[in-house]
Structure 1
């Protein structure tokens, strides 16, 4: 007696991980984090339009409210959803356009820059054989904004002795305006070093 062949249903393809589809695991950006009355740094590993995963220098807490800014993305309010040591996932209050973080220039044609951290500290700037007392007004991985009564010129090379770490960062004066000027580092500061300078590492 012949039996009708048994139809074997085709295996359904595994469901797509939509979060993986939309995330960019290769992102490594230093961000600025504002929480409560403090400000600290984080290293963003993974970002999507709805949130990001980062390593924080100040341990976050599930449910904590934050404001985070990274290069190409304006400061955005967010909530911590999970924590694993100093790593955490946060969800943005409002979906963001993340294509902007991969651009060298923003919609106005300006160079996209890493967020700056406000500071109020004194330091020593060395230009050739001169040592100049300066005030640090803000800092980013790429440089510092300084203030001094001493005359300096764009293009002069030297080093800044960074507070808290007592380490020299070499670079060049890139702009001057009255008693204020910018000093661009030859090599960006690491997250660990930047955090120590900010007093949150």
Structure 2
């Protein structure tokens, strides 16, 4: 027998669980809070996520990364100048509202919070973050080949720099919410990709 059909949208409940994990962090998010937010019962939960809370968390990381990456990659890869898109991406981070600033990066949070506890989650978060670095690297290569960048620096190093800036901005904007100061920081760091 196939059992009862799903009566929920898995992507939607994963998104709802993401919000709970992002707000509370993995360790502090209780099963009841997750079930309430997702709007499903325990039976449905364990049928969908046989690995329990950890499997759900891993799926939230994967879905968050895929959604974020696909949106940014589409903009970068379809733009006449992907570097301009990347620059605007960083300036938007500097202007973000306080709630967004205080939440940090979902993947970065996972890497920091669980790196000592769970190697699988650490590895998953690190691999997902490395896709962003690769996107930056490829955009730099294209811009150099098209004559849109003066810099002759190694694209892989610049991709790492931009990835580091991404992680650093998430931390720095928790300490300093001044959009003007954050914009200056972004300006300073983006001088490497002129």
Q: RCO (CA 8 Å, sep 6+): is it higher in 1 or 2?
A: 2
Q: What's the TM-score, normalizing by structure 1?
A: 0.22
Q: What's the TM-score, normalizing by structure 2?
A: 0.22
- Larger proportion of strand: 1
Q: Which protein is bigger by CA-based radius of gyration?
A: 1
- Larger proportion of helix: 2
